Amino acid sequence: MITEQEKQHTPEIEALIQIAFEKGIGEAIQAAKAKNDPHLLDDFHDALIDRFYQKLVEAGKLK
């Protein structure tokens, strides 16, 4: 079940994932940390692992 806070983070998560594909995972993590929101960082991690990990590997952004 998606919480209300996770719904609020959706646009930011999508932007961070776009950064991960365009500029690399390091840039995306730095951008997420710069938001200074631990819950956003956790939601970003969950999205990467649950939905985008394999795509990032295939795109050569992760090994």
Residue pair 20/56 in contact by the 8 Å Cβ criterion: yes
Question: Average pLDDT, stretch 17-30?
Answer: 92
Residue pair 9/42 in contact by the 8 Å Cβ criterion: no
User: pLDDT at position 44, please?
Assistant: 92
Q: Is residue 42 part of a domain?
A: yes
Q: Is residue 63 part of a domain?
A: no
pLDDT band for 1, please (50, 70, 90 cuts): low
Residue pair 48/56 in contact by the 8 Å Cβ criterion: yes
Q: Is residue 37 part of a domain?
A: yes
Domain count, the chain: 1
Bigger pLDDT: 25 vs 3: 25
State pLDDT tens for residues 28-53. Answer: 999 999 999 999 999 999 888 888 87
User: pLDDT at position 18, please?
Assistant: 93
Please list, in sequence order, all residues whose beta carbon lies within 8 angstroms of the beta carbon of residue 19, skipping any fewer than 6 positions away. Answer: 27, 28, 31
Q: Which domain holds residue 18?
A: 4-58
Measure the CA–CA gap between 17 and 29, rounded to whole angstroms.
10
